Structure 1
Amino acid sequence: MIRLLLRDMALAVRAGGGFGLGLAFFLIVVVLVPFAVGPETAVLARIAPGVLWLGALLACLLSLDRIFALDWEDGSLDLLATAPLPLEGVVAAKAAAHWLTTGLPLTLAAPVLGVFLNLPAEGYGWLLLALAAGTPALSMIGAFGAALTVGLRRGGLLLSLLVLPLYVPTLIFGAEVSRRGAEGLALATPLAMLGGITAGTLALLPFAAAAALRVNLR
């Protein structure tokens, strides 16, 4: 499983679908927002948590279709399905590789980019915590969507339509944790909900994604 994880991380970087593309998109979103809403620091500070979370979410979408696509194209997905490692483990390893090459860099970059949006100083730590707790769910949900659409023509658009509604709860509670942290409000409830969503997706979706892959490989 470790070898599969390292292999997928190397492929993600070589294929151009790793952290570089996601970070570039994230930077563009954050830089363009002040031009769209104006330079008022109070306005930017108020919308910063939501904008940073939305930018990270959309950046994650860019590389979702590559989670299984490369293995499908070269036939290695069939070999992985017959390997001693259960298909659920394959899904978990690929979701982990996606998070390490996309979600983790976005999490680490978000506080730096928060400077462009005048994010209050109190919100940096909570933004980092919220993204660290929520982005694994984005990668796992994306792996589930990629398993459903693997092998389909123009599956990238369908994948986005499938996973975006599933991303909404994570976006709501993740942005709420960041907003309340920046404003100094109580955040135990949204933080618990965010952690529960992530734990639920990590526990259940590997089995659902593996079942979808078995259907597509028949």
Structure 2
Amino acid sequence: MSNCHHAFPETQRRGVYRAIHERRDVRSQFLPDPISPEVLERLLQAAHHAPSVGFMQPWDFIVIESREVRASILALFEQENARAAERFSGERQDLYRGLKLQGILESPLNLCITCDRRRGGPHVLGRNSIMDTDLFSTCLAVQNLWLAARAEGVGVGWVSILDPAQLSQVLNLPEHVYPVAYLCLGHVSEFLGQPELEAKGWRSRLSLEELMHANSWGQPFARAFAQGK
């Protein structure tokens, strides 16, 4: 038997995995109820406790409640979304146009998580070979917040159809600060049983087994995994 005395109790482990598997990209289920300051602080603390290369902590958090600012962001989205739709044709384009891909005004709160590319100075421990580790670290902060939000019953939607330069201009970001994630946050009427894009037939989840390799690319990984878990 392996030594697992550092493992969480079973009920707590189940909670962690439940948050992972039930996390959803929310777009259509937002309620107008505000997020309490206590819950928001817990979510931001969770994000702030993400791992980061060289402990650089490159993230900042812009909390956006202003309807005027959000309306400006929505205009940016609509412009980019119209351009994105033109990349598809026929039934695929019709399906794309029927998808709701943002909740900028419907959610009570928007949040932009940014990456300060100068944070930590010119020589950050562990960053000399892969300079984008600051961006990767900021993505971990996004994931921390997302999982904590699911545990709090708060929905999160990532609006990725935005031009970063235009978004930076609206939010007055310094030149060295990059907007990694523009998020919509709020309590929801429900968390869908499966990702919305999967439910609407845009894409299906790949099986874990077909993504596994042993020791090098393309070498089969013999261990079997339970399907659908």
Same fold by TM-score greater than 0.5: no
TM-score by length of 2: 0.28
Higher share in strand: 2
Q: Which has the higher helix share?
A: 1
Task: Normalising by structure 1, report the TM-score.
Answer: 0.29
The structure, 1 or 2, with the larger RCO (C-alpha pairs under 8 Å, 6+ apart) is 2
Higher radius of gyration, 1 or 2: 2
